[in-house]
Amino acid sequence: MLVSEISEALGISRITIRKDLDNLESRGLVKRTHGGALAAQHLSLLDPPVDKKHLQRWKEKQRIAEAAATLVREGECILLDSGTTTTAVAQALRRFGKLTIVTNGVNIAADLASTNFEIILLGGPMRKNALSIVGPSAEDMLHEIRADILFLGVDGFDPVAGITTPNVLEARVNRAMVQASRRVIAVCDSTKFSRRSLAKIVSPSAIHTIITDTQISKEDLEALTSFGIEVILA
């Protein structure tokens, strides 16, 4: 990862990028190199395509999705992050007659096109790997939206690093989603805890509720509750 590449992608000066990388290195999240940075050894940068992630821990994702749907009320505005767990949530929401769905997940919008829901797909360039929309246009749209619930997919949830994802542009859109939502619900299986990825979305304190599976460790569960986060085990 080169400073020049990050600067061009985000439209931020190289001086600012270098300062941010120095800060990440001080927190153990990256290792600075000549002209850029590399992931620290404990840092997960894996970002497999959606079709490969789809069947991983699918039963857990289905249970998490069913639990998520019980928190929704008819007529609400729901923000759905891209991802395989949130795709499962989208399917579980089909039981409702009227919802407004705002999403950056291209596949989610397509899957729900046959419903009577009002579907708002964020605009901007698409990350083909994740079938997700990212970029300033998506962020600008989110600044004008007020959702009742955000279902946020999680790549890494670490008590120190916070909520993280492998892609910087995805993290910016996710952060705007959090700011646009009255209630933030993270949906993730238990393998995502005590795991860090490259880009921070928000601190744990920004999450109201987490829905995960029953295989979560006692230590991770205690860490979540120490932040005042409601934990639902599915």
Query: Could you tell me the CATH number of the domain that includes residue 161?
Result: 3.40.50.1360
Least confident of 83-97, 101-115, 188-202: 188-202
Local structure of 1: helix, strand or coil: coil
Same domain, 110 and 215: yes
Tell me the sheet residues that pair with 118.
100
User: 101 and 173 in one domain?
Assistant: yes
Quickly state the pLDDT bin for 159 (edges 50, 70, 90): confident
Domain check: are 123 and 150 in the same one?
yes
Comparing 29 with 123, the larger pLDDT belongs to 123
Residue 12: inside a domain, yes or no? yes
Q: What is the DSSP string of 32-84?
A: EETTEEEE-TTB------HHHHTTTTHHHHHHHHHHHHTT--TT-EEEE-SSH
pLDDT at 198: 84
**What pLDDT does residue 196 have?**
83
CA 137 to centroid of chain Cα atoms: 18
Does some domain include residue 138? yes
CB 199 within 8 A of CB 170: yes
In this structure, are 27 and 139 located in the same domain?
no
User: 24, 30 in Cβ contact below 8 A?
Assistant: yes
Claim to verify: residue 118 and residue 187 sit in the same structural domain = yes
Report yes or no on 154 lying in a domain. Answer: yes
> What one-character DSSP code corresponds to residue 193?
B
Same structural domain for residues 35 and 56?
Answer: no
Q: Which of 160, 152, 58, 73 is nearest to 105 (CA)?
A: 152
Which pLDDT band holds residue 194 (cuts at 50, 70, 90)?
confident
pLDDT of residue 42: 46
- The number of distinct structural domains making up the chain is 2
Determine the structural domain holding residue 12 and report its residue range.
3-39
Q: Are residues 77 and 17 both part of a single domain?
A: no
**Is 44 a domain residue?**
no
What is the rounded distance in angstroms from the CA atom of residue 151 to the CA atom of residue 169? 18
- Looking at the chain, the whole-number percentage of residues with pLDDT higher than 90 is 65
Same domain, 200 and 229: yes
Query: pLDDT value at position 110?
Result: 96
Higher model confidence: residue 19 or residue 118? 118
DSSP run (H or E) holding 132: strand 132-133
33 and 57 both lie in a single domain? no
The pLDDT value recorded for residue 34 is 53
pTM: 0.79
Return d(Cα 81, Cα 129) in angstroms, integer.
15
How many other CB atoms sit within 10 Å of the CB of residue 35?
12
- Residue 3: the pLDDT is 58
Domain identity same for 16 and 87? no
**pLDDT confidence of residue 62:** 95
| Residue type at 174 in one-letter notation | N
Question: What is the amino acid identity at position 218?
Answer: K
Is there a single domain that holds both residue 92 and residue 187?
Answer: yes
Same domain, 184 and 89: yes
- Give yes or no for residue 38 having a pLDDT over 50: no
**Does residue 45 sit within a domain?**
no
